[in-house]
Amino acid sequence: MANRDVVVVGASAGGVEALAPDTSIVVVATSAGGLNALTHVLSALPPDFPAPVVVVQHLSREAPSLLADILDRRCAIAVRHAVDGEVPKPATVYIAVRDYHLLITASGRLALTHSELVHFVRPSADVLFESAAASYGDQVIAVVLTGAGVDGAAGVRAVKRAGGVVIAQDKETCESFGMPAAAIGTNGVDEVLGLDDIAPALITRVGPLHRAS
């Protein structure tokens, strides 16, 4: 994977080093068919969802993105573009900025970087997932939604090594099954769910994680 030094924030030579955060975090990756999938999942989350949600959607690197604005109008939970240096807060969805990798630093802040493409894309799910695993350890819930390619598979492995949970969208409800299939192929996916079942699973899983943190 290109630019590995960018994504091992918070990791030690012996493996993942968690920071014992005071909340869990949900990280989501999607590509082709992502607007519909994100709308289904995020619109079903309550406005007081007790964890931040950080989203990487593969987008054109040239055209302006209205994704955050569109989703914010459709969802009860707040949706906005990620800001470099911001601390992710519960009940907020942070969308990756066009043509920048989005990652989480060892101090738990969001960071944007214009470093090299990963799997020919920027932003990359692997960058987000690996950095989240390094910073949040077993408090991470990673979700792989519809999309082509294999981006996210390496990140799924990192999340599982850290003790986190991985959910993948099932083939029947995907517009493109490439990314979920690659995630499932790692043998690191805990649940394969239809699109309508993902938000309820997140609500169920985040509660116990949040109380245990």
On whether residue 55 sits in a domain, the answer given is: yes
On whether residue 192 sits in a domain, the answer given is: yes
What pLDDT score does 64 carry?
53
On whether residue 125 sits in a domain, the answer given is: yes
Residue 146 has pLDDT above 90, yes or no: yes
Residue owning tokens 């692997």: 126
Domain count, the chain: 1
For 79-120, the pLDDT digits (tens) are 999 999 999 999 999 999 988 999 999 999 999 988 888 877
Q: Which CATH number belongs to the domain containing residue 57 in this structure?
A: 3.40.50.180
Q: What is the CA radius of gyration of the chain?
A: 15
- Residues spanned by the domain of 170: 4-9+23-212
Question: Taking residues 13-23, what's their average pLDDT?
Answer: 45
On whether residue 156 sits in a domain, the answer given is: yes
Question: Taking residues 39-56, what's their average pLDDT?
Answer: 97
Residues annotated as catalytic are 31, 58, 151
- Asked if 125 and 179 touch (Cβ cutoff 8 Å), the reply is yes
Residue 17 has pLDDT above 60, yes or no: no
- pLDDT-above-90 percentage for the chain: 74
Structure pTM? 0.86
